Amino acid sequence: MKMNNFTSGKDRKLFNDDRGVSPVIAVILMVAITVVMAAIVSSWSAGVKAPTAPTTIGLDITRSTNNVIVIVTSIDPPSAAPINLINISYYNYDGANHNLNYTNMISADVGASTSINTNSPALKKLIVTATYKDGTQKVIYNRET
């Protein structure tokens, strides 16, 4: 909308024209909305963790009469070594009770080994559980006969 012209000094004409106000406000609003959306996306993505590859543990499990021998043969990825705790639990049933024998490997790395006396030449149930650096636990071997 055009306002009245007036002269001041040497025929200088000043116009009071507000036609440019709306585009300027629109640009300012678009920039503000973009900044707010960028802040929301960056704060949301800051809490998202990148997926990690699961840790795999290779075991060599052998039996000799009344003993079960467990050897750690590999840990992948190598950065997961040493494993905080590897628990080996052996259960047998003597006809009346379930008996538990267990042993632990603490800070187990490749080459670590342990044996557990099963007090029986027959294998009943063997469970190997790993506790990782982040505190999570996973059953890595479970066999029952």
Report domain extents, the chain.
6-46, 56-144
Residue 134 CA to chain centroid, in angstroms? 9
Share of the chain above pLDDT 70, in %: 77
Residue 14: what pLDDT? 56
pLDDT < 70 positions in the chain: 1-21, 50-53, 94-96, 121-123, 145
Superfamily of domain 56-144 in the CATH hierarchy = Immunoglobulins (2.60.40.10)
What pLDDT shows up at residue 1? 47
16-49 pLDDT, tens per residue?
Answer: 666 666 788 888 999 999 999 999 998 888 777 7
- Comparing C-alpha atoms, which of 70, 53, 54, 94 is closest to residue 143? 70
Cβ-based neighbour number of residue 53 at 10 Å: 9
Cross-strand pairs, 128: 88, 141
Q: Residue count of the chain, please give it.
A: 145
